[in-house]
């Protein structure tokens, strides 16, 4: 199941890139878009976990745009908060 979910997620990202649907203007916006896209394309627990991680990155970078280590920590925290 996870393999198929990852495949759906990768294809959704590929399609979004081909259609120029992703914004590269700001990292927080890009990670938010990726989180939403992966959550919905992958579905299930894999989509929720990966989507939450990217939403955590986005939330952190919106306030601290140059602190990648804090962004990764917040992404992990978002996943941990899922339970």
Q: What is the reported pTM?
A: 0.91
Asked if the model's pLDDT at residue 83 lies above 90, the reply is no
pLDDT given for residue 32 in this prediction: 97
66 near 52, Cβ under 8 Å? no
Find the length of the chain. Answer: 83
Q: Quick one: pLDDT band at residue 31, thresholds 50, 70, 90?
A: very high
Task: Give the C-alpha separation, 25 to 12, whole Å.
Answer: 20
Asked if the model's pLDDT at residue 2 lies above 90, the reply is no
């Amino acid at each position: 199941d996870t393999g198929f979910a990852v495949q759906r997620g990768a294809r959704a990202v590929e399609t979004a890139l081909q259609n120029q649907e992703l914004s590269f203007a700001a990292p927080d916006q890009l990670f938010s878009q990726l989180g939403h896209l992966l959550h919905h394309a992958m579905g299930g627990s894999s989509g929720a976990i990966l989507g939450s991680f990217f939403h955590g990155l986005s939330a952190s970078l919106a306030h601290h745009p140059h602190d990648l280590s804090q962004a990764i920590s917040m992404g992990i925290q978002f996943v941990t908060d899922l339970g």
